[in-house]
Structures are given as C-alpha cells and as structure tokens.
Amino acid sequence: MTPYEKYEQIQRLDYYVKVYSSIRNSALSTEKKIELSKVLDKAIEEEMEKT
C-alpha cells in the first residue's frame, strides 16, 4: 500500500467515524440505528482487511 493509498484509507475511516457519531446522535429509532451501525461496521471491517 502506497503512502497515498494509506492516506485515503485514513480519510475514509475518519469519515466512517463521523457518520457513526451522527447516527448515534440522531433521532432515529433504536432499530434503525442498529441497522445502520451494522452496515457501517461491515464497511470499516472491509477497509481494515485491505491493510
């Protein structure tokens, strides 16, 4: 992985954390928050497998 690819990965992970925080602070139902969090967890897991 090149330094630029690593930088892009860090940017994506930072974005995922911000989205996760927004989900937790939103007025969505608990079920919807859990559903969205699972999707986000999968995206983060896939991103981490690239390294």
Check if the beta carbon of residue 36 is closer than 8 Å to that of residue 28.
Answer: yes
Structural tokens at position 4? 């630029």
pLDDT, tens only, 1-35 = 899 999 999 999 999 999 989 988 998 899 999 99
Give the whole-angstrom CA distance, residue 14 versus residue 19.
9
Q: What is the pLDDT of residue 39?
A: 92
Whole-prediction pTM:
0.71
pLDDT, tens only, 27-50 = 889 999 999 999 999 988 998 888
DSSP 44: H
**Whose CA is closest to 24, among 13, 37, 5, 15?**
37
**Whose CA is closest to 50, among 5, 11, 17?**
5
